[in-house]
Amino acid sequence: MSAASWSRVAGANERVGLGFIGCGLIGLRHIEDFRRLPDARLAAVCDVYAPRVEQARAMCGGDARGYADFRKLLEDKAVDAVVISTPDHWHALQTILACAAGKDVYVEKPMTLFVREGRWMTDAARRHKRIVCVGTQGRSGTHIPEALELVRSGAAGKIHSVRFSAYRNIMPGFGRPADTAPPPGLDYDLWLGPAPQRPYNPNRCLYHFRWFWDYSGGQMTNLGAHDMDLVHLLLGLRAPRSVFSAGGRFALEDNGETPDTQDAIWEYEGVIVEGSFREAGGSRRASAGTASSLAGVQFIGTKGVLAVSRGGYEFVPDMQIVPESAIPPWSNPAGHPAAAKAEPKPYGEPRSGKSVSPEPIDLHARHFLDCVKSRRRPVSGVEDGHEVSVACHLANLSMKLGRKLAWDPRKEEVVNDREANALLERPYRKPWDAELRSALR
């Protein structure tokens, strides 16, 4: 850090100047969270849609400077760190340019739009010695240490399977509005940024961007990033060995592109992870066995099931048979003494816990400021965000290609699959391709 920037954030009681890039739904929530922290100074806001800039400035108390172009905000010397809440296709370039400008970064998940971006972001953070914290807020939940201890202590036995799912019904979808002119106050070309040039459509911009491949990876990288992040955190995983996914947009009647139906299986060393998403399903899927009533990511072990969400956890032990009755009763001859002694008992005691107020998203904001001031690694660092994003992106690539993909984490490429590897990177639109090349030098 430069002497000037360090002087603004080094002391325990110093206020960190924050700039907010992207002031939509989650961006405004971040403003609300950070403005409650006494050592946060809300210095600037930025959005390509003018009404959002004014709304954000009002939430900041009116003193924050407003920008339409995030590059101008990055030039603001009152800004020590930025909070990036733009659509997914902007996350990488804005993070890289912020690091180059000497700003620390809190970037929303999913951290990237395609695989290669994560390595670029990691390299930029290291080269410029910046703190980059990813918005997988579940890692800051107060219940996480207890859940980690349950895993590490072996309370659930050997965890061999993980399941997560998200089912809802939003039929018939978002409709098929015609292309039209952008609304007044929206810089649509800047909103597109590095993404391909497309006519303006109400479903592409502002919120519904998430259902188009140009800007997002659908629910796999949206909700899936949160769930897979808990899998990586609690089991200490880094990268899958292989991924297979199937699905498509089968039911919704609109102009969206990303799947409304998708299942994926990731193979890690000694662990199978299953993810399932439905946008036109009537209810959340009920899993078999003791996990049927548990909400969250289900970690299935030889001694029980641990379900963990961003807000809490629940552990339900399986039942064991006492050693004298190891032979199943249905296989015993009539009158066999073991049959009379068959008596199941739990492997342990049920346990549950939940994150206390403030919520994990509030605690994550506090954690980010602490990391900016102490220069310690965030609990959800840029490398963590990259590895989780890779797992989600590989599932989408597998679905698109219609085949299982084997992953080499050392080379960060798909094994013996030239077509898949060509899809690990997407071209940026001019002039943003030149901005990227310049920042990566």
**52-62 confidence digits (pLDDT tens):** 999 999 999 87
Q: Could you please report the per-residue DSSP string of 336-399? A: -HHHHH--EEESS--EEEEPPSSPHHHHHHHHHHHHHHH-PPPTTBHHHHHHHHHHHHHHHHHH
pLDDT per position as a tens digit, 193-236: 999 999 999 999 888 999 999 999 999 999 999 999 999 999 99
The per-residue pLDDT for 288 is: 36
Q: In what order do the strands lie in the sheet with 405-408?
A: 351-354, 312-317, 304-308, 297-301, 159-167, 271-278, 261-268, 242-248, 405-408, 413-414
Percentage helix, strand, coil, to 5, in the chain? 35, 20, 40
pLDDT class of 5 with cuts at 50, 70, 90: very low
- Do residue 254 and residue 124 come from a single domain? no
The whole domain housing 286 covers: 144-356
Answer whether 356's CB lies under 8 Å from 141's CB: no
Same domain, 218 and 132: no
Same domain, 82 and 175: no
Predicted TM-score (pTM) of this structure: 0.91
Q: Is the pLDDT of residue 398 over 80?
A: yes
Residues 18 and 63 in one domain: yes
Q: Between 320 and 366, whose confidence is greater?
A: 366
Task: For residue 309, give the DSSP letter.
Answer: -
Question: Is 264 among the domain residues?
Answer: yes
**Is 248 within a domain?**
yes
User: Are 80 and 196 part of one and the same domain?
Assistant: no
Residues 123 and 158 in one domain: no
Residue 170 has pLDDT above 70, yes or no: yes
Scored b (16 or more CB within 10 A) or e, 61-72 reads eeebbbbbebee
Q: Report yes or no on 405 lying in a domain.
A: no
Question: Residue 281 — very low, low, confident or very high, per pLDDT cuts 50/70/90?
Answer: confident
Is the residue at 74 inside a domain? yes
Q: How many domains does the chain have?
A: 2
> Which among 42, 54, 49 has a CA at the least distance from the CA of 82?
42
| Domain annotation covers residue 435 | yes
178 in the same domain as 199 = yes
Q: How far apart are CA 414 and CA 284, in angstroms?
A: 33
For the cut 60, the answer to whether the pLDDT of residue 341 exceeds it is no
- Domain of 205, CATH number, reads 3.30.360.10
Residues 201 and 340 in one domain: yes
In a shared domain, residues 198 and 324: yes
Let me know whether 166 and 89 are in one domain.
no
- Are residues 211 and 125 both part of a single domain? no
Residue of 283 and 49 predicted with greater confidence: 49
| Close Cβ partners of 187 (under 8 Å, ≥ 6 residues apart) | 48, 49, 68
Based on the fold, state whether residues 238 and 105 are members of the same structural domain: no
Q: What is the CATH number of the domain that holds 97?
A: 3.40.50.720
pLDDT for residue 33? 96
pLDDT > 50? residue 378: yes
Task: Evaluate whether residue 32 is within a structural domain.
Answer: yes
Q: Residue 56 has what pLDDT?
A: 97
The chain-wide mean pLDDT, for the chain, equals: 91
- Per-residue pLDDT tens over the stretch 35-57: 999 999 999 999 999 999 999 99
